[in-house]
């Protein structure tokens, strides 16, 4: 164990002459395999007579033959070069650069750790806020449902109590009428029995017409009573809940003043489609200077808003919001940089978000109805499959200022039947 703990000689020590204690100069090797500087061993042997010996192992040699070791000589030259002041300075600079690099990398990792910790804290904080918000939204629905349930049950109990009270009153009248009739029957029966044994001089005092007249009441309509409380209660409640939704689906209408000349609006301004008679106009590129689009008549500056659009079998459309200040007659790319936040569909079922460049989207099922949500305070514009309410895409840096709901039917291909885009009002209209 002691030998393992001894310090191992370095390469420089191995290449050091044991006579002069300097790096070998013109190293030579003796037959015993020990190395010395040529000058050092020659000087050492000059003072000896007869046989010469190795200064290290004392082995004697019959002659003074010296063998040049070019391998050791080359190693000495390398060690001497590496031991030079310039080399040492370069090595120090390399070490300094490496240390600085690793210090910088360490600081970068520490910053990343701090950022990740902040991210974790943010996720936790936002998660708590969102949980509270979700719980509040559903608690409001539960409160409303509980209130609606209480009101319906109270109305049911009140109506039941009124019907029961009327029925009890009638039963009491009928019981009194029965008692009166029974008393008259008893008196008359006694008079009849007396006639068999004696002559009846006069009739007993009996009211031949009952004093209590009970009319026959119409039969209680159980089905009508049941129908009032076994009908579409969920739908009825939903209609009442709908008025309290925040945001409730906005009943948008198209603005004819903003409609492209090749678009036709329905009378109620809730449906838009390409006009067939305008196809020559649309096919002429020189005359086709405007985008085939239309805005809603309503605009939004604050608050939270939601609306739904029926796209049916359309294969091309753009939906979203546009800033009030955009020039819709210019053929600008629909992107936030140009004042548009949109979702697009093109042939082949290719859905994209209106970014620059376009962001391709994977959609599980082609939506027949698209829901658009706008939060002016949070600057969020998001799109949903309105049937499943699955999020399709969300812009988290939405518009700031007055915006309008934006719609474009795009230009249909030759021989392709145009499909309408329809604004949905609730209860939902079919396409």
The radius of gyration computed from the CA coordinates of the chain, to the nearest angstrom, equals 52
Residue listed under structure tokens 């309290």: 244
- The yes-or-no verdict on residue 85 having pLDDT over 80 is no
Mean pLDDT along residues 257-281? 81
Q: Identify the pLDDT of residue 67.
A: 83
Angle of helix 233-242 relative to helix 85-197, nearest 10 degrees? Answer: 130
CA-to-CA separations, 208 to 173, 178, 182, 185, 199, in angstroms, rounded: 19, 14, 12, 10, 21
pLDDT band at 287 (very low <50, low <70, confident <90, very high): very low
Q: Which residue has the higher pLDDT, 77 or 216?
A: 77
pLDDT at 217: 63
Q: Return d(Cα 267, Cα 272) in angstroms, integer.
A: 10
Q: What is the pLDDT of residue 240?
A: 76
Residue 62 CA: distances (Å) to CA of 27, 51, 54: 21, 5, 12
**For range 322-336, the mean pLDDT:** 87
pLDDT average, residue stretch 28-57:
86
pLDDT in tens, 364-373: 889 999 999 9
pLDDT at 354: 94
Confidence of residue 431 (pLDDT cuts 50, 70, 90): very low
Q: Which of 27-31, 36-40, 276-280 has the lowest mean pLDDT?
A: 276-280
pLDDT of residue 97: 85
Contacts 24+ apart (CB under 8 A), 410-415: 410/292, 410/316, 410/317, 410/318, 411/274, 411/282, 411/288, 411/292, 411/316, 412/274, 412/316, 413/347, 414/283
Q: Which long-range contacts (CB under 8 A, 24 or more apart) does 18-21 make?
A: 18/55, 18/56, 19/44, 19/55
Model confidence band, residue 284 (pLDDT cutoffs 50, 70, 90): very low
pLDDT the model gives residue 141 = 83
In 3D, which of 206, 367, 384 has the Cα closest to residue 306?
384
| 98 vs 416, residue with greater confidence | 98
pLDDT (tens digit per residue) in 204-255: 666 655 555 666 666 677 777 777 777 777 877 877 777 777 888 889 999 9
At residue 202 the predicted structure's pLDDT band, cuts being 50, 70 and 90, is: low
Tell me which of 10 and 150 has the higher pLDDT.
150
For 392, residues 6+ apart whose C-beta sits below 8 A from its C-beta are 343, 351, 361, 363, 367, 370, 382, 383, 384, 385
Percent of the chain with pLDDT over 90: 33
Look at residue 272 in the predicted model and tell me its pLDDT.
92
Please tell me the chain's helix, strand, coil percentages from 3-state DSSP, rounded to the nearest 5. Answer: 40, 20, 40
pLDDT recorded at residue 243: 73
User: What pLDDT shows up at residue 315?
Assistant: 86
**Of the candidates 70, 40, 67, the residue with the CA atom closest to the CA atom of residue 56:** 40
Cβ-based neighbour number of residue 326 at 10 Å: 17
pLDDT at 87 over 60: yes
For residue 353, the tally of other CB atoms under 10 A from its CB is 20
């Amino acid at each position: 164990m002691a030998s393992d703990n001894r310090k191992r000689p370095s390469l420089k020590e191995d290449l050091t002459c044991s006579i002069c204690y300097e790096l070998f100069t013109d190293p030579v090797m003796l037959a015993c395999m020990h190395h010395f500087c040529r000058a050092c061993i020659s000087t050492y042997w000059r003072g000896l007579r007869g046989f010469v010996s190795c200064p290290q192992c004392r082995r004697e040699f019959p002659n003074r033959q010296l063998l040049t070791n070019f391998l050791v000589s080359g190693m000495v030259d390398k060690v001497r070069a590496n031991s030079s002041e310039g080399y040492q300075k370069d090595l120090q600079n390399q070490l300094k650069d490496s240390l600085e690099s690793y210090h910088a990398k360490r600081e970068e990792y520490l910053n990343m750790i701090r950022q990740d910790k902040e991210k974790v804290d943010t996720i936790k904080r936002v998660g708590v806020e969102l949980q509270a918000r979700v719980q509040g939204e559903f608690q409001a629905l539960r409160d409303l449902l509980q209130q609606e349930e209480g009101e319906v049950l109270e109305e049911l109990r009140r109506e039941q109590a009124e019907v029961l009270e009327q029925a009890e009153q009638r039963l009491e009248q009928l019981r009194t009428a029965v008692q009166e009739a029974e008393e008259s029957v008893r008196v008359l029966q006694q008079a009849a029995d007396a006639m068999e044994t004696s002559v009846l001089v006069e009739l007993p005092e009996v009211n031949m017409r009952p004093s209590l007249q009970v009319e026959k009441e119409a039969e209680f309509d159980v089905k009508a009573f049941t129908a009032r409380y076994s009908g579409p209660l969920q739908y009825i409640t939903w209609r009442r809940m709908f008025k309290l939704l925040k945001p409730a689906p906005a009943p948008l209408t198209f603005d004819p003043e903003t409609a492209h000349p090749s678009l036709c609006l329905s009378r109620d301004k809730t449906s838009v489609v390409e006009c067939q008679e305008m196809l020559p106009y649309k096919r002429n590129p020189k005359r086709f200077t405007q985008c085939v689009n239309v805005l809603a008549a309503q605009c939004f500056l604050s608050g939270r808003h939601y609306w739904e659009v029926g796209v049916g079998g359309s294969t091309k459309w753009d939906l979203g919001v546009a800033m009030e200040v955009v020039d819709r007659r210019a053929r600008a790319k629909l992107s936030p940089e140009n004042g548009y936040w949109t979702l697009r569909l093109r042939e082949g079922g290719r859905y994209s978000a209106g970014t620059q460049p376009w962001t391709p989207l994977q959609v599980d099922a082609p939506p027949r109805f698209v829901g658009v949500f706008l939060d002016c305070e949070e600057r969020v514009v998001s799109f949903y499959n309105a049937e499943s309410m699955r999020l399709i895409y969300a812009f988290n840096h939405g518009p700031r200022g007055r915006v309008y709901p934006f719609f474009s039917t795009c230009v249909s291909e030759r021989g392709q039947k145009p499909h309408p885009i329809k604004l949905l009002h609730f209860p939902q209209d079919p396409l």
